[in-house]
Amino acid sequence: MITLKELADRCGVSTATVSNAINGKSNISETTKQRILQMIKETGYKPNFMARTLRVNSKRTIGLVIEELAAFSSAPIIEGIMRYFEKQKYETILYNMRVYSNPNWMNDEDFVQTCVNNAVEELLSKQVNGIIHVAEHSRKLKYYNENLPVPVVISYAYPDERKLPYVSIDDNSSTAKMAEYILSKGHKKIAMICGSKDNLHAEKRCNSFKRVLKEHGVPLDENLCVYANWTRETGKAAAAKVLKKGVSAVFCHNDFIAAGVYDYLYEKNLQPGKDLLVTGFDNHIISSFLHPEITTMKLPLLEIGEKSAELMDNLLENDSTCTEGFEIPCELILR
Amino acid sequence: MITLKELADRCGVSTATVSNAINGKSNISETTKQRILQMIKETGYKPNFMARTLRVNSKRTIGLVIEELAAFSSAPIIEGIMRYFEKQKYETILYNMRVYSNPNWMNDEDFVQTCVNNAVEELLSKQVNGIIHVAEHSRKLKYYNENLPVPVVISYAYPDERKLPYVSIDDNSSTAKMAEYILSKGHKKIAMICGSKDNLHAEKRCNSFKRVLKEHGVPLDENLCVYANWTRETGKAAAAKVLKKGVSAVFCHNDFIAAGVYDYLYEKNLQPGKDLLVTGFDNHIISSFLHPEITTMKLPLLEIGEKSAELMDNLLENDSTCTEGFEIPCELILR
């Protein structure tokens, strides 16, 4: 029997146009529609949704293992991947692991490993040609064993022992830019409120910030470096600890911590931006709704997605065993 | 040959545990692992990822047609759907239409129709048992023709001519709650900044607000009712038009418009909340980062997802032709 593709070729139109003609849509000309319907009659073509699987198999399909779709970083990364693949005519299948369904997931590697196993099994059963793992935050991932029959690219995190291609953000250079900005404003007594301990982002931002301040001859006082836990509430509590000490600027490891600092300042009738320079990180949507809007670092999420897709494309096109990693710098958003 | 499921049954464990044993994961006891490996030897079971499709077919699969994954409402609705289906052991396949890739999508019904056609064709080729359409915003959808071989549920919007089950928000009762709250604070001169014209949410909120104010003997002055376009910028421009007229409260159709009102007030050295009561709608994350935090209506997004999944479950379980629609009220968030 004639296929949809063959029918479309005979009519000199796309398969989408044939599909529209069959479905009686109005977005094609009456002449084209009649030509297609006539050809359907002549050839005896029967629209058959199931037949599509055959055609699909000639297209490559990439499975996206998404740790948590609800994470603010996930949608832009996925958009970057899909934007790239759309141009390359790859298909994508999204698998949402929903790690937030386990409140303790960050300390439960077995849980995450089981989620990944299920995701991989599911995607392989759907015959994907490659897997891109979209992490909730950057860390070293050890979920993928070497026996997988398809290539894996890590997006927004790093591989552990196994050498895998990855794309993440450049915390070091980005933090250096922020440090230089704060110094350029003449600040000498500067505090830092870090993300959680044992977190890769926090570690890199902390070290990079200290290094740049030291290089400029205004080393960070260890008493002015405290840890929060990425949230507004812990940011506020950290502010209470560190801001009594007469600092004029504070670098926060994310925008939520910065929002907590704002809360502390409001409570003390102090004005963020005027009485204290507060800077954030992430360019989360909330950062432009704080009052005043906050200077922050924009995560290159779309770019991470696009680059991850490009790496996968290279792996499949050139059948290479590339294990290259990329770190993309963030953009300083001055406000 | 023995299947994974049969093997798991013989071992008295889940298929996930068998999979973990095969993959050498550490999250199962050594005894269990040895028992499984012994059984694999005895039965001659060969792990075969592709074989899984056979098992999958005994499970029901629901395709989610997502208009735009990046919309703030999408992830919570999807989470609600997946949470429900997880309990029911359905699988889900996500199809992201990416309507934002066409900046003019809201006025380009042919574009959206083509996206839906592609999504449906794709999902049917993957042999889904039902489709849930996750809309970007509520409106009347006419994308699904009657010849589809599987049931369709509309999530966060309404069907057009064809009777389809749907779940959306109850704009009328929610707006009434907001109106009563504003009235309870003693306000008599009240303004409203609406979303865009021809938008179903805006129309319902507008009519409901006017009705309640009238019922309470303080009818809305037509000069104090203006349209914005859901954004911060248009909200600020609308505020400039309407707030010169000495109002003491303004009801905004979403939180972004309310943020624009804040911007206007700051510029005039006025204090939101003190010089003017401003209320929003959506409980978008930004609403709790405005200063002061804003009173708003929380969209029941998780609940919309769960209810949509429940409707689909009923359709499939009872093989019914239910066309019931549900509107879920929002929750007033006082701040």
The CATH number of whichever domain residue B16 belongs to comes to 1.10.260.40
Q: Which residue, among B58, B94, B301, would best test binding to A if mutated, counting the most A CBs under 10 Å from its CB?
A: B94
Q: Is residue B88 part of a domain?
A: yes
Measured distance CA(B196)–CA(A212) in Å, rounded: 49
Q: How far separated are the first and last CA of chain A, in Å rounded?
A: 63
Nearest to A113 among B25, B51, B83 (CB): B25
Which A residues in the span 241-280 are in contact with B, Cβ-Cβ below 8 Å? 259, 262, 266
pLDDT one-digit tens code per residue, B139-185: 999 999 877 889 999 999 999 877 899 999 999 999 999 999 999 99
> Nearest CA of chain B to the CA of A222: how many Å?
30
The residue of chain A nearest to residue B112, with distances taken between CA atoms, is: A27
For residue A110, give the H/E element and its range.
Answer: helix A109-125
User: If we measure between CA atoms, which residue out of B233, B230, B214 comes closest to residue B222?
Assistant: B214
The region of weakest confidence among A160-169, A212-221, B94-103, B285-294 is: A160-169
- CATH code for the domain in which residue B134 is found: 3.40.50.2300
Whether this model's pTM surpasses 0.90: no
Domain shared by A13 and A113, yes or no: no
Nearest to A117 among B20, B94, B121 (CB): B20
The predicted pLDDT at position B81 comes to 98
Return phi, psi of residue B51, to 5°.
-65, -20
CB contact under 8 A, B50 and A127: yes
Domain shared by B202 and B157, yes or no: no
Measured distance CA(B212)–CA(B208) in Å, rounded: 6
Q: Is residue B53 part of a domain?
A: no
Nearest to A285 among B56, B98, B286 (CB): B286
Q: Is residue A52 part of a domain?
A: no
| Rama region for B215: left / alpha / beta (φ>0; ψ in -120 to 50; rest) | alpha
Average model confidence (pLDDT) across chain A:
90
> Nearest CA of chain B to the CA of A124: how many Å?
6
Nearest to B289 among A75, A76, A290 (CB): A290
pLDDT: which is higher, B5 or A130: A130
Domain shared by B121 and B185, yes or no: no
The predicted pLDDT at position B5 comes to 73
Measured distance CA(B153)–CA(B119) in Å, rounded: 15
Q: Which domain holds residue B203?
A: 171-298
pLDDT one-digit tens code per residue, A26-60: 667 778 877 887 787 777 665 544 344 444 446 78
CA torsion angle for A227, A231, A233, A239 (degrees, to 10)?
40
Q: How many domains does chain B have?
A: 3
Assign A196 a pLDDT band (cuts: 50, 70, 90).
very high
Beta strands in B37-165 (DSSP E): 61-66, 91-96, 130-134, 140-141, 152-155, 158-159
Q: Which residues of B touch A262 (CB under 8 A)?
A: 291
Q: Is residue A54 part of a domain?
A: no
Q: Count residue pairs from A and B with Cβ separation < 8 A.
A: 130
> Nearest CA of chain A to the CA of B221: how many Å?
30
The predicted pLDDT at position B25 comes to 61
Q: Is residue A53 part of a domain?
A: no
Domain shared by A24 and A65, yes or no: no
User: If we measure between CA atoms, which residue out of B229, B269, B286 comes closest to residue B252?
Assistant: B229
Amino acid at position B39, single letter: M
Domain shared by A153 and A209, yes or no: no
Q: Is residue A9 part of a domain?
A: yes
Domain shared by B79 and B129, yes or no: yes
Domain shared by A176 and A159, yes or no: no
Here the ipTM equals 0.81
Domain shared by B37 and B63, yes or no: no
Measured distance CA(A6)–CA(A12) in Å, rounded: 10
Measured distance CA(B138)–CA(B254) in Å, rounded: 14
CB contact under 8 A, B125 and A82: no
The region of weakest confidence among A297-306, A316-325, B249-258 is: A316-325
CB contact under 8 A, B16 and A49: no
CB contact under 8 A, B49 and A125: yes
Provide the pairing of β-strand A296-298 with A331-333. Answer: antiparallel
Question: What SS3 state is found at A155?
Answer: strand
Domain shared by B76 and B33, yes or no: no
Chain B CB within 8 Å of residue A13 CB: no
pLDDT one-digit tens code per residue, A225-247: 999 999 999 999 999 999 887 89
Measured distance CA(B258)–CA(B245) in Å, rounded: 17
The predicted pLDDT at position A323 comes to 80
User: If we measure between CA atoms, which residue out of A224, A274, A213 comes closest to residue A252?
Assistant: A224
pLDDT one-digit tens code per residue, A253-277: 999 999 999 999 999 999 999 999 9
Low-confidence residues in chain B, pLDDT < 50:
48-57
Are A126 and A61 in contact by the 8 Å Cβ rule? The answer is yes
Q: Which residues of A touch B25 (CB under 8 A)?
A: 110, 113-114, 117
What is the percent of chain A where pLDDT is above 70? 92
Q: Is residue A252 part of a domain?
A: yes
Q: How many CB atoms lie within 10 A of CB B30?
A: 8
Domain shared by A175 and A273, yes or no: yes
Which A residues in the span 43-102 are in contact with B, Cβ-Cβ below 8 Å? 49-53, 56, 69-70, 74-76, 78-79, 82-83, 86, 91-94, 96, 98, 101
Measured distance CA(B221)–CA(A221) in Å, rounded: 60
Domain shared by A155 and A186, yes or no: no
Domain shared by B157 and B175, yes or no: no
The predicted pLDDT at position B47 comes to 56
Assign A104 a pLDDT band (cuts: 50, 70, 90).
very high
In this predicted structure, the answer to whether residue A169 has a pLDDT above a threshold of 80 is yes
Measured distance CA(B291)–CA(A289) in Å, rounded: 8
Q: Is residue A13 part of a domain?
A: yes
Measured distance CA(A106)–CA(A137) in Å, rounded: 10
